[in-house]
Structure 1
């Protein structure tokens, strides 16, 4: 139920909120009193110490025998927020330049602070390290401008000044200093909105202190450990929290009637935490994308592809590791109407991707609630949205993959309910679920080529087994075989006739090349060593995607579910979900083994296709281990700490330092 305005205002008057805000404010006041020595390695774009988002208006990063650097341009700026209103020593390190550059390039660099002239630095051919005393920045955010003459080498359109290699900022003692107030107020505003969002999601009467305390503590820690990057994220945090609040209202209002309609058990505890998972998952994903100069991934590609689709250029090819394949436009066409709200295509794509990823928590809970306790289903939802795998797709901005993975999850959930409804006598329900399965499978097929392959094999396998069981006399199979087959074949025919038929010549030529020279010949690449593939499967697949433990736990969990399932004339809810899990495992196993046979690394992202099975299976095994007493709980907490640390790194490193995570597969 949506909280009344009075309840919202009472939430703002909560002593816990004001205590947390006061603690944050004190932390923000303490931070500029602490010693600060901050180094920016110019030209080092990706990695700890990245020069972004602090350098703006410079030329692209370069590297030579001296190290990394960037050429200045006239008006290039060094903006370092969060330093506080205190005097600073600014050290600029410039690389040597040749006589030819000295002949046509600048000889003086004018340094301005907050728009006011500060110093004139000579350009020295042998390179130099020059120091400047900077008065306290007006708002606690250092803004240095470099004004210089520029030149353009022959055949090079760039405007070059002089090569900057390093920036070092040292705070000088001068008594109490004020913080970067715009950033501090931005974070306080974000913290207030986050309180409102979490309070609404969890419920007005639910204990929020610990969860909120952890969030506030992490923000305060960031302000102490890395003030500039903390300050740079204030606007992103404020906007993400502002969007999370109405999302919390919508999620909490929508989950209860949906759960009631579909018969999903959802008490107040489950409703609160499931809403929190959705809200936090959205804020982390979209807020991370908003952070200045965070890893951009493929968003530029998707914006171009979106524009192509809107202009009617539907049948195009894409290339993955040397192999041409169709790139269906379904997700672009689905989100296109939202651009009528005045939002850019990039914004719509990224907000939509964050929303469907967040909503996936509810789908995992719904599927899991059919085969395990409500608490375990909540854990499965958390594993799905808070392990590193789905953050990897966010950072790579695999937007059509994200949408299609959501539609695939919807398809799995639909089949869980449909296979139950198809065993009944209600003709209307049988038709409704058949139509729903057809529509969702069509969305998957027209959303992503990899999920087309995976989902086709999964549903085709389930359909084939259904027919086999019907011939063996199983009543459930006789009831379900035609609705399932019609929905599946209808989606295949629809997607094939209206889109994939245009690529038949491509498929035939690739089959001929593969027949003659193998998959490596199709990719026009040398065969990959099996040792390399084993290493990739171990490090990236087992460790990075999920944080070591969920995959082996999932194997145990699926085995436990299979052991407890008994045969019957009619298919139970548990057996339906288990059949889909085992079918997904079979498909994924085929694609996991295939590269070791073909020696080609192309795959339809089978591990991401399996993510829902990993989440549910791991939750089943974790719940069983937790019930084994103290040692079991210690083991669960230790494994959880590893998973959280892995996720934290995969979330933070592309956001703060543009460190690329491995591509998900």
Structure 2
């Protein structure tokens, strides 16, 4: 008992949490959900389903991934797409092991110039061989009837002799074109039943643990079951492949929910149980985990008192919605990236850069659209200690990016609350911060540094709103200036484009100093101290990192003077009509939604015209909104002047301002009666639909979204 108390574990609290969990599991609604799930999966398995796999199509609707495995890269001959099989090529059919399958395989004709190419193809399923199938000089279709294998997955292996073509080191088998499947009536695989049942139970526990009422949790679960039913009926194979990623993401979401709703005793108890269950070979790893957890907990104890002074605790209903929003964002971001063969994005690029930083080479350089530029290493330096725990650098970067996207809406809510905008406007701003397409694009492109810097920018704006009364006061706020400087240094050293945006915003703020000087003494002090922290941050960023690239900047400046930015990027000037179409469609429409930009402009004007509050925060943030709009306008106009497609991610830099303005307008419309509420629902549905389309397309069919602007 004394040991548990020293570790900060209240066994009574853990016991009560376990009792509440058991009571939640005994809810009859959960039993009905499981019965509905069983009926849904059973009915879907009894429905025949035709599947067409366009072998050789890696991206887009009809993609052959993740169903084809161990094939060579896709090739194209004329209008024909195909893949060469190899030694262990197979067709993975998740969850289809208890259903009969009628298989059609189309093979391309043998090339007369390759006399050693195989003439026979055998198909093996569950240790049983079907064939051999004779290959001819012309394309052929081969039909095979596969009985139920009584296994969770059906793995169709393509067995043939291999050969090497002249000048090609690969071991080639048979060129496969299309594969058609007809899944007959059968039964759902046990792993499919168990996996989806575990997901339903875990999702129910998360909803109830966050304080959602049983009726609301029931309706939400029914909606989720409806979406699941559409997935298992329309695409049962890819739906079955999503079970493990969804379960893993929900487990991470449950941990995040426990942390956000303030259940530290439960987390510490689970940690100690995990350490006690560690095998002997993992004792060193467990000790490292325990040491890291102890350090984080000690830091939380130290910062708790100071955080309570600046973190506004939302009411129970708002807190419940915010926690659920964060968990949903985290699970969607992380689960999507863990789906097999989902859009990879630039994760390998970030792995290489992080490896270089960990190896002691922090001065990185990258190239984008023909232009070399410094690549700031702040994120890699911060996650480097986590690599000592051996979670895998790839997983660490993805988890950090998902956490950044999940916590960003909470910070947006705090900013709106600090401005006195009310809970409804703050909630709308937080919701848009989670649902906008720009964050989804950055997630699928695996722009890890972009996602982290986006969160640091929000934290910097939030700290400005918290520190403003102290900055205006008579005492010297050394602590606040240090915090503001640190936040801006993180932004500057997190992303090169954000450093440029922050620099332009700093220059705009310095230009507004004379206007602030005309106000009272408090405004003069606050503006001067804020400018001081921004200037110190820029000096530190230059001294610590960007000064090492003085030669690069000088040579690029000289080259730009001679031939313009187009010569620097080695690009042919783009037509302004094309640039405008790209900005409007991929930029404003897909990033923000069809009506968000005018709503944000109207909301910013509404914020500027509101009566000032006693703290002066509203006028300060109105100035920040105007400065951010100026940054966006200048950098959006730059491609039209230079006719190049270079971008500093200025639109992503401005998302926080768009969220605040749009949230204010949405709240005002909501108060205007039924028509206003319908308008808010329509706009929210359009934004959510756009983000959902981006998410599903990149997950299931590797459809690339636009790069964030």
Pick the TM interval, shorter chain.
over 0.9
Determine the structure 2 residue equivalent to 1:113: 125
Determine the structure 1 residue equivalent to 2:705: 661
1:623 aligns with 2:667: yes
- 354, 372, 394: which one pairs with 2:443? 394
1:597 aligns with 2:606: no
Stretch of structure 1 that moved more, 578-587 or 230-239: 578-587
Distance 2:121 2:313 in 1: 68
Would the aligned equivalents of 2:46 and 2:184 in 1 still touch at CA under 8 Å? no
Q: Secondary structure at the match of 1:604?
A: coil
After TM superposition, give the deviation of residue 390 of structure 1 in Å. 0.4
After TM superposition, give the deviation of residue 258 of structure 1 in Å. 8.7
Would the aligned equivalents of 1:190 and 1:242 in 2 still touch at CA under 8 Å? no
Determine the structure 2 residue equivalent to 1:361: 409
Distance 1:530 1:563 in 2: 35
Change (3 A) 1:259 1:225: farther
1:347 aligns with 2:398: no
Distance 2:573 2:469 in 1: 46
Determine the structure 2 residue equivalent to 1:241: 250
Alignment of 1:358-507 (within 5 A): 358-371=406-419, 372-427=421-476, 430-465=477-512, 467-469=513-515, 471-507=517-553
Determine the structure 1 residue equivalent to 2:192: 183
Q: Residue by residue, what CA displacement relative to the aligned partner does 1:113-145 show, whole Å, maximum 9, x if unpaired?
A: 023222211121212000011011322522101
Distance 1:258 1:607 in 2: 33
Determine the structure 2 residue equivalent to 1:213: 222
TM (normalized to structure 1)?
0.95
Alignment RMSD (CA, Å): 2.0
1:560 aligns with 2:606: yes
Stretch of structure 1 that moved more, 269-278 or 12-21: 12-21
Distance 2:410 2:23 in 1: 29
Distance 1:424 1:24 in 2: 61
Q: Secondary structure at the match of 1:208?
A: helix
Distance 2:36 2:474 in 1: 61
Would the aligned equivalents of 2:52 and 2:180 in 1 still touch at CA under 8 Å? yes
Q: Residue by residue, what CA displacement relative to the aligned partner does 1:497-525 show, whole Å, maximum 9, x if unpaired?
A: 12111101111111111122111111111
Determine the structure 1 residue equivalent to 2:696: 652
Q: Residue by residue, what CA displacement relative to the aligned partner does 1:188-218 show, whole Å, maximum 9, x if unpaired?
A: 1122112212222245678322223222221
Q: Secondary structure at the match of 2:472?
A: coil
Determine the structure 2 residue equivalent to 1:331: 379
Change (3 A) 1:115 1:333: farther
Determine the structure 2 residue equivalent to 1:577: 621
Determine the structure 1 residue equivalent to 2:109: 96
Change (3 A) 1:610 1:74: same
Q: Residue by residue, what CA displacement relative to the aligned partner does 1:215-237 show, whole Å, maximum 9, x if unpaired?
A: 22212221122101100100101
Distance 2:99 2:540 in 1: 66
Distance 2:325 2:243 in 1: 22
Q: Secondary structure at the match of 2:592?
A: coil
After TM superposition, give the deviation of residue 263 of structure 1 in Å. 5.2
Determine the structure 2 residue equivalent to 1:142: 154
Would the aligned equivalents of 2:506 and 2:531 in 1 still touch at CA under 8 Å? no
After TM superposition, give the deviation of residue 446 of structure 1 in Å. 1.0
1:643 aligns with 2:690: no
Q: Secondary structure at the match of 2:388?
A: helix
After TM superposition, give the deviation of residue 17 of structure 1 in Å. 1.9
- 565, 579, 585: which one pairs with 1:539? 585
Determine the structure 1 residue equivalent to 2:18: 5
Gaps of at least 5 residues in structure 1 are none
1:22 aligns with 2:5: no
After TM superposition, give the deviation of residue 89 of structure 1 in Å. 0.9
TM (normalized to structure 2)?
0.89
Following superposition, which runs of at least 4 residues in structure 1 exceed 6 angstroms of deviation? 254-259
After TM superposition, give the deviation of residue 259 of structure 1 in Å. 7.8
Distance 1:109 1:66 in 2: 24
Would the aligned equivalents of 1:86 and 1:140 in 2 still touch at CA under 8 Å? no
Distance 2:191 2:313 in 1: 45
Change (3 A) 1:98 1:33: same
Distance 1:644 1:110 in 2: 47
Would the aligned equivalents of 2:364 and 2:377 in 1 still touch at CA under 8 Å? no
Distance 1:287 1:436 in 2: 34
Aligned pairs, number:
656
After TM superposition, give the deviation of residue 84 of structure 1 in Å. 5.3
Distance 1:390 1:258 in 2: 30
Determine the structure 1 residue equivalent to 2:90: 77
